[in-house]
Amino acid sequence: HLCVIALVLFPGPCSAPAPLRAQTADVKREDVLLTRLAFGSCNKALSPQRVWGAVRAKAPQMWLWAGDAVYLGGDQPGNLEEAFEAQGQQVGYQQLLSDNIIVDGVYDDHDYGGNDAGKHFASRAQSQQLFLDFIGVPGDSPRRKRKGIYSSYLFGEGKRGAAPSQRVIMLDTRFHRDNHVIPSLAAIKLPLMSLVAATVRWLTMSLGFGSEHVGDILGEEQWQWLERQLRNSSASVHIIVSSIQVLTSNPLVESWAHFPAAKRRLLNLLLSSRPANLVLLSGDVHFAELSGNPPLELTSSGLTHTCGTTFWGRYCGSLVRAFNRHRRHFASYGVGSSRNDGVRASESSREEGASSEGW
């Protein structure tokens, strides 16, 4: 229920500098050369959480929430404030925080406060502040005044002369997100409405209805910020966190694919800015995947539950394998529907004469 990335970086002479520099990150940690981070999603605050010992054993320098850090209703707390407080009282999570690890990330719909919710969610501003409280963002941070929780880090720049740096970019895919072409019914508090919403998403994509949907995900202010983060960035590694999947072809789940205009804009931006050694991180779907070729997208499975542990879990594997165009080596590789953990390594080199522009 965890994905861990190991980034092994080999500094070398840099290629010719770009005439312009990317916008500085919100948080600069010149003292840290980021070589190992962990991320996860889909976590119930009142459920057993045996994962934290495994996370700590990997000794990550940074933990990123990829969405759904808490859930509401049923056997879980009734509001976000109580849910975040309950998660903060989990002993294993407290031990992780005591390791002096950097903790950050993004919300998805459940820790935003409404299933499949977007910009029309009435309490979105309050949800933003509660999530920022949860991850310990200072009260005077510029992030508190933004419309959305998007943010960025730059690690290692200037640490050892021409040493490589690592840029981590976290997107808010909820605060400005328009409705689906057929608005989701998942927010209706009736049994099985999440499955109804998934069925509607499948039908709209299967029938081609919504292929010209112009709904947005990021909002213009965040788009402009993202472009400034990527243009002429000299970082050796770029990590972009999106709570919902970017590259998936699975029509059942929430993803960028249901907002085709926004997805085209994102991919065109990545193609034109060509951030070096790009990795996408995502959550939400309750199973783990390795997608893309390139860029690569790593999706975390659930921390406390997965699609394999639901009442319809017997069908999970078949449904996941049925939609595999996006997956590396298709159905034979790159997916897991049970709780799991692993290590991914990415090597980058700025050797003289070598291209630093490819993914």
pLDDT at 164: 81
Kindly list the distances between the CA atom of residue 24 and the CA atoms of 19, 70, 201, in Å, as whole numbers in the listed order.
Answer: 15, 31, 38
d(CA 157, CA 155): 6
Model confidence at 349, in pLDDT bands (50, 70, 90)? very low
Q: Is the pLDDT of residue 287 over 70?
A: yes
Instruction: Provide the mean pLDDT of the chain.
Output: 86
pLDDT exceeds 50 at position 288 = yes
**More confidently predicted of 324 and 339:** 324
- Of 130-144, 185-199, 308-322, 335-349, the poorest mean pLDDT is in 335-349
Reported as a single tens digit per residue, the pLDDT across 60-76 is 999 999 999 999 999 99
Residue 159 has pLDDT above 60, yes or no: no
* pLDDT beyond 60 at 19: no
The residue ranking higher by pLDDT, 168 or 188, is 168
pLDDT at 301: 82
pLDDT of residue 94: 97
* Cis before 295? omega within 30: yes
CA distance readout (Å), 160 to 12, 116, 356 = 11, 44, 19
CB atoms within 10 A of CB 34: 24
For residues 143-160, give the mean pLDDT: 88
Using DSSP's 3-state secondary structure scheme, residue 302 falls into strand
Do the Cβ atoms of 266 and 256 come closer than 8 Å?
Answer: yes
In the predicted model, is pLDDT for residue 333 greater than 90? no
Instruction: Give residue 318's pLDDT band: very low, low, confident or very high (50, 70, 90).
Output: confident
pLDDT number for residue 346: 40
Q: Taking residues 224-248, what's their average pLDDT?
A: 96
Two tokens at 237?
Answer: 């590694």
- Higher pLDDT: 163 or 278? It is 278
* Mean pLDDT within 218-247: 96
pLDDT at 46: 97
Q: Please give the pLDDT value at position 38.
A: 96
- At 322, is the pLDDT very low, low, confident or very high (cuts 50, 70, 90)? confident
Q: Which residue has the tokens 């995947």?
A: 289
**Which residue's structure tokens are 């000794």?**
59
- Position 329 scores a pLDDT of 55
% residues pLDDT > 90 (the chain) = 68
With a cut of 60, say whether residue 161 has pLDDT above it: no
| pLDDT of the residue at 214 | 97
Specify the residue for token string 């049994």. Answer: 191
Do 205 and 251 meet the contact criterion of CB atoms below 8 Å apart? yes
- Write the burial class of residue 261 (CB in 10 Å: 0-12 exposed, 13-18 middle, 19+ buried): middle
Indicate the residue type of 70: V
Inter-axis angle of helices 80-88 and 124-134, to 10 degrees?
10
Mean pLDDT in residue range 101-105: 97
Average pLDDT over residues 289-315: 85
Q: In the predicted model, is pLDDT for residue 254 greater than 90?
A: yes
| Cα–Cα distance for residue pair 246/281, rounded to 1 Å | 9
Q: How far is CA 83 from the centre of its chain?
A: 20
Considering only residues 157 and 218, tell me which one the structure prediction assigns the higher pLDDT: 218
Contact 68, 76 (CB under 8 A): no
Average of pLDDT values for 307-314? 75
Residue 213 has pLDDT above 70, yes or no: yes
DSSP labels for 324-349? -TTBTTGGGSSEE-SS---EEEEEEE
Is the Cβ–Cβ distance between 297 and 54 less than 8 Å? Answer: no
Determine which of 119-128, 152-161, 205-214, 241-250 has the lowest per-residue pLDDT on average: 152-161
Query: Would you state the pLDDT for residue 328?
Result: 66
User: Residue 314's pLDDT is what?
Assistant: 78
Q: Which two tokens stand for residue 154?
A: 């730059």
pLDDT at site 192: 87
